[in-house]
Structure 1
Amino acid sequence: MKHILNTLIIGSLIAATASSCTAKFEDINSEPYRPGDLSADDYALGSAMNNLAGCVVSSDVNTAQFTDCLMGGPLGGYFADSNANWKATISFFNATDDWTRVFLKSDKVLPVLFSNLSVVEVVSQNTSNPVPLAIAQIIKVAAMHRVADTYGPIPYSKIGADGSITTPYDSEEMVYNKFFEELNSAIAVLNEHPNDRLTATADYIYQGDIQKWIRFANSLKLRLAMRIVNAAPDKAREMAEAAVDPQFGGVIEQNADNAAWTYFSGSVNNPLFVAKEYNHEGSKTGGDTHVAADIIAYMNGYDDPRREKYFVKSEWTGIDYVGMRRSAKVPELKTIGRKYSGINLSPNSPLYWMNAAEVSFLRAEAEAVYGFNMGGEAKTFYENGIRLSFEQWQADGVDEYLAKETKKSISYVDPNEGINSYDKELTNITVKWDESATPEQKQERIIIQKWIANWLLGNEAWADYRRTGYPHLLPATEEGNKSGGVVDSNRGARRMPYPVAEYNDNAENIEYAVNTYLGGRDDMSRDLWWAKKK
């Protein structure tokens, strides 16, 4: 009777989530694993797991455009809005609710995430196999920490199977503690079943390899531990040191273990590729989104060989790579767009969640700045992070790059008649490791290289910038800051305001959260709990 009931539940949940945030399961299911070859549990698991995975960096183009091209990308110094018709944007700090609410209110994120999590839970019960649910919990944390890092306090512990957020809000500390609890539980389960594998069609991240999921979970745990290092240093140390402890399975140390959605073909394309091409107005380097001036300024200053892998060359005579300034007057693409560099993505480019270079830089920072035991020396982790990034992007010249003790000017010249140029040096930090540097200088050096290596992971770059103040980004121009004095042009947006609908549908809970956790102000200027660097 229980199995029949669970089967009915699976059927109803599959129907409810058929229009999901990922590509149709039938479209990405390939020979020899046709739907007819699978049991009901197998088919439900495959569909649910891939729907879950499509909610980390959303595989829905519209959602990904808002969360990664128009929010995380610009605020992290990677992307710049390049549609001159937009008058209210996140980059201008005056975005309307339909831009800032996406993570919490989109029907392509929380509802899909939690409803498919329920499917996996039922299948795990049906099959007496805890492994799928453990992996689903890891994916849940990977998706939800992006939500928490956007708003601060969020509904989390009491969200039900439908993903509705009309529940009480948890403080950021409570949410992060829950993340660690869920990751620890999942890691323990997978370590108890190290030789298990998922159904072949249920995992387009690691193809069912449990050891790789363990390493990703520990790496995610390390990322989150370093996120809270200034707010809860003892907890951060405990979680960070446990994450790298070999007895728990270790972390990502090679590019073969990078976490990325890699299945794109035919009509299913990388959503960031699709989004960047919208409204290109004849520009050969992109449409609504171009490369930001910040990332190119640094990489030009370091003469970084990865530029040709990251960017499409501009058509400005004598200048191969030039970015567009964020939070500034947007030029008309029809007349000037070709002079700005584009984002070098193809329809089949991987959609990265986390890479080995980031993990190595996390260990370098933890060791050099905070004295955590990361199982090695900061210099080794730092240099290995750069080597791993060069390897990931198949760039040459890493030895010469690591030895650089000088740099060119890290500033900005705007090809649009110099309208948005910036002639001040953004940093004096060079590439080569300096053991005699202060902890602050070591942190800046590490974060700059981590930022360059984490290219395309804009939300992660934005989080690091808020937590550390690095890298130094170009400030908003007077014309580019339309917040009415709310947002500091030098610091940028610190969070997104809550969806307007919450004040109608969940008034008591959101008012409590804003007054208790945010000092009564729900705007872009409020620092998050973990962002308060002492």
Structure 2
Amino acid sequence: MKHLFDFRQIALFVFGLVLFAGCDEKLDEMNINPYGIEPSNANPNLLMPTVLSSAAQDYVGLGYNDLAGAVQHTQKNGWYSGHNYYDWTNKNWTGWYDILRTNELMIRRGEDLENEFFQGIGLTMKSFVFGNIADLWGDAPYTDALKGDQGGEEFQYPQFDSQEVIYDGVISDLQQAVQILGSASSDGVTSGNDLYYGGNTQNWQRFANSLLLRYYMRLSEKKPDVARAGVEAIYSSGIYIEDPSQDATLDYTGGANDQWLSRHVRLNPDDFQRYQACQTFIDQLTGTNDPRLPVWFDSVRVQWVADESLDVAAEEFIRANGEPLSVETYPYDDFVELYSDVKFTRHYNPNLADYNDDLYVGLPPAITVPESYNGNPSPGQGTQNQHVSQLAHIYSTEGSPGDILKARIISAAEVSFIFAEAALKGWNVGDAEAHYNRAIEQSLETWNRADAYEDFISQPEVSFNNTLEQIMEQKWVASWTAAAESYADFRRTGFPDLEAGPLSPQPEVAIRFQYGNDEYNNNSASIQAALDGLEVTQYSGNFGADSQWSKPWLYQGTNVPF
């Protein structure tokens, strides 16, 4: 019986091997996708919208999330550690490199098809994405990046290039893009898939040159001769974004992946209520009677009124047009709609309590318990604070809210501010005041406030005073929802003069992202050189070199922003 049992076991084992081998062959056949397209046959028209939409969405995501907190456009009253306190530990750049891989395939297919349009926009978008990576992290894989399909360990685990090398590469690629786009045709291009310009090669050339202006100005302190020659040449050419209609933007589409509205605001009321105005920004806007203020922010739902006759710090009820209400204690959205023409107030005794009784009130940066600020009667993460300004209602409107809400990559206003700064340096680009005034006019036009230009520009606080500080302050205002650029300007110039709040781990605003866990886990040998290239500062803290307060190459040897 024992021998029979052994024989049966062996027979079953052999049968299993045969069966497994047969199944394995069948699985190989089943894993071949008969509908799959080889990369060598990919249509660049179908790659283009993925690149353009992803890049714009990621950029505007930076512009109203953590970097909006860093430049103090906004603060959050819930889930706020990254936004308010620079808690940026281990930021991965996977999404940016995903865009770059798709974009690289688009460039290759453009070369295969001898189509200059796809080559030119591919180089432009490659520069835009790599520029952002260098801006935010510093050194990064560049020369050996995007070559994983070529095999070899040097491509699987690419070395980091210095921030300087990346910036030089960005400028070189943009110069090439401008040249290619100058003779490119849109033949063979599906215009609807070009989400920025509908296949208009001239606007793409303007876009590429405008990005060049951005990165020449980045290098204006490190490589002033290169920057000056580049900016002057582009100004002389006249090929740059000079009207808001030429801005590089992605329209609001109503899709589930739209950053600013659908995913983060419109379909999530709690998230909408987390975004509050920052008091730093409110002070700037109210101090200059900026007509863009009500476009971007709502007034407080209930305004404090000083009343020294009270024998308590504050009333526990609100008033409608001065009369105490007994129907509701605090007006939430549905209640406010019933009284759309009513002025809601709440009285307090300024001798017993310290509240901000302005019509527009922001959260101070990096404060303790922001959800309770200014006497919020119903504190809690993400709850309505009737005494602090939130985003304007256009950011929570169902359906398409109109043409002014777009993911804006670069604008005519930014270009004019760049020329204003360049003129202030003495470069041959025209008159600084004319460029400054034009930049403000373009920004107001972008936000449907062009009719307020004359009154706004005539104010003493706004009228040109020939200082870099004023140019940077107004550029910072105009960068609303594109905070990545004002963040770069702040680190490069020290303006606007931002002060870190009391809960910031360091007394200065953070200046970079830390490298992500993916790099430490999978490319640790290569990352070391990047860490060695960072300048540890007095604010780097316990993080060592890879700190939000360590200086990459661009700021080394300077005293800005600290």
AA at the equivalent of 1:109: W
CA distance in structure 1 between the partners assigned to 2:226 and 2:418 by the alignment: 16
Summarize deviations over 1:140-184 as a string: whole Å, max 9, x none.
212221221111111112112569883111111111000001000
Q: Answer whether contact 1:260 1:351 (CA < 8 A) is retained.
A: yes
Q: Answer whether contact 1:312 1:342 (CA < 8 A) is retained.
A: yes
The answer to whether 1:253 aligns with 2:242 is: yes
CA distance in structure 1 between the partners assigned to 2:438 and 2:133 by the alignment: 30
Residues 126 and 155 of structure 1: CA distance in aligned 2, closer, same or farther (over 3 Å): closer
Aligned to 1:373: 428
SS of the residue 1:55 aligns to: helix
CA distance in structure 2 between the partners assigned to 1:443 and 1:165 by the alignment: 45
Aligned to 2:180: 189
Aligned to 1:338: 386
SS of the residue 1:343 aligns to: coil
Summarize deviations over 1:248-299 as a string: whole Å, max 9, x none.
x611110110110015135554445532468655x9xx33322222221100
Residues 366 and 496 of structure 1: CA distance in aligned 2, closer, same or farther (over 3 Å): same
In structure 2, stretches of 5+ residues that fail to align are: 1-33, 150-154, 304-356, 537-543
SS of the residue 1:80 aligns to: strand
- The CA deviation at 1:70 is 3.2
CA distance in structure 1 between the partners assigned to 2:156 and 2:448 by the alignment: 43
Q: How does 1:164-175 map to 2 (within 5 A)?
A: 166-175=157-166
CA distance in structure 2 between the partners assigned to 1:119 and 1:516 by the alignment: 31
Q: Answer whether contact 2:220 2:227 (CA < 8 A) is retained.
A: yes
- The CA deviation at 1:236 is 1.3
SS of the residue 1:401 aligns to: helix
Residues 287 and 198 of structure 1: CA distance in aligned 2, closer, same or farther (over 3 Å): same
AA at the equivalent of 1:262: D
CA distance in structure 2 between the partners assigned to 1:384 and 1:76 by the alignment: 23
Q: How does 1:94-113 map to 2 (within 5 A)?
A: 94-97=87-90, 100-101=91-92, 104=93, 106=94, 108-111=95-98, 113=99
CA distance in structure 2 between the partners assigned to 1:382 and 1:197 by the alignment: 40
Summarize deviations over 1:376-411 as a string: whole Å, max 9, x none.
100100011111111111113211111111xxxxxx
Of 524, 543, 547, the residue aligned with 1:507 is 524
Q: Answer whether contact 1:497 1:523 (CA < 8 A) is retained.
A: yes
Residues 371 and 197 of structure 1: CA distance in aligned 2, closer, same or farther (over 3 Å): farther
SS of the residue 2:531 aligns to: helix
RMSD of equivalent CA atoms: 2.8
SS of the residue 1:141 aligns to: helix
CA distance in structure 2 between the partners assigned to 1:366 and 1:341 by the alignment: 36
Aligned to 1:49: 48
Summarize deviations over 1:433-483 as a string: whole Å, max 9, x none.
13xx5xxxx100101111111111111111111111111224311xx12x3
CA distance in structure 2 between the partners assigned to 1:379 and 1:9 by the alignment: 59
Q: Answer whether contact 1:290 1:343 (CA < 8 A) is retained.
A: yes
Q: How does 1:190-229 map to 2 (within 5 A)?
A: 190-193=181-184, 198-229=189-220
SS of the residue 1:353 aligns to: strand
The answer to whether 1:390 aligns with 2:376 is: no
TM-score (norm 1): 0.76
Aligned to 2:9: none
Say which one has the larger Rg.
2
Q: How does 1:38-117 map to 2 (within 5 A)?
A: 44-58=43-57, 65=61, 67-83=62-78, 88-89=81-82, 91-97=84-90, 100-101=91-92, 104=93, 106=94, 108-111=95-98, 113-117=99-103
In structure 1, stretches of 5+ residues that fail to align are: 1-7, 15-39, 406-429
CA distance in structure 2 between the partners assigned to 1:200 and 1:158 by the alignment: 33
Moved over 6 A (4+): none
SS of the residue 1:342 aligns to: coil
Residues 158 and 9 of structure 1: CA distance in aligned 2, closer, same or farther (over 3 Å): farther
SS of the residue 2:428 aligns to: coil
The answer to whether 1:150 aligns with 2:136 is: yes
CA distance in structure 1 between the partners assigned to 2:84 and 2:56 by the alignment: 20
SS of the residue 2:208 aligns to: helix
Q: Answer whether contact 2:48 2:106 (CA < 8 A) is retained.
A: yes
AA at the equivalent of 1:311: F
Residues 135 and 266 of structure 1: CA distance in aligned 2, closer, same or farther (over 3 Å): closer
Residues 95 and 433 of structure 1: CA distance in aligned 2, closer, same or farther (over 3 Å): closer
- The CA deviation at 1:120 is 1.2
Of 99, 113, 126, the residue aligned with 1:140 is 126
Q: Which has the larger displacement, 392-401 or 173-182?
A: 392-401
- The CA deviation at 1:53 is 1.0
Of 378, 387, 402, the residue aligned with 2:457 is 402
CA distance in structure 2 between the partners assigned to 1:273 and 1:404 by the alignment: 37
Of 458, 461, 467, the residue aligned with 2:483 is 458
- The CA deviation at 1:514 is 0.9
CA distance in structure 2 between the partners assigned to 1:12 and 1:271 by the alignment: 34
Residues 291 and 9 of structure 1: CA distance in aligned 2, closer, same or farther (over 3 Å): farther
SS of the residue 2:485 aligns to: helix
Aligned to 1:325: 364
SS of the residue 2:221 aligns to: coil
CA distance in structure 1 between the partners assigned to 2:434 and 2:35 by the alignment: 51
Q: Answer whether contact 1:292 1:326 (CA < 8 A) is retained.
A: yes
- The CA deviation at 1:89 is 2.4
CA distance in structure 2 between the partners assigned to 1:392 and 1:165 by the alignment: 44
Of 536, 542, 552, the residue aligned with 1:528 is 552
Residues 339 and 357 of structure 1: CA distance in aligned 2, closer, same or farther (over 3 Å): same
Aligned to 2:316: none
SS of the residue 1:260 aligns to: strand
AA at the equivalent of 2:113: T
CA distance in structure 1 between the partners assigned to 2:178 and 2:108 by the alignment: 20
CA distance in structure 2 between the partners assigned to 1:215 and 1:461 by the alignment: 21
Aligned to 1:416: none
Q: Answer whether contact 1:465 1:471 (CA < 8 A) is retained.
A: yes
- The CA deviation at 1:235 is 1.7
AA at the equivalent of 2:117: V
AA at the equivalent of 2:448: Q
- The CA deviation at 1:126 is 3.8
SS of the residue 2:165 aligns to: helix
Q: How does 1:268-307 map to 2 (within 5 A)?
A: 269-271=258-260, 274-276=263-265, 280-281=269-270, 286-307=272-293
Q: Answer whether contact 2:89 2:514 (CA < 8 A) is retained.
A: no
Residues 162 and 294 of structure 1: CA distance in aligned 2, closer, same or farther (over 3 Å): farther
Q: How does 1:5-24 map to 2 (within 5 A)?
A: 11-13=37-39
Of 419, 424, 431, the residue aligned with 1:363 is 419
AA at the equivalent of 2:426: G
CA distance in structure 2 between the partners assigned to 1:391 and 1:64 by the alignment: 20
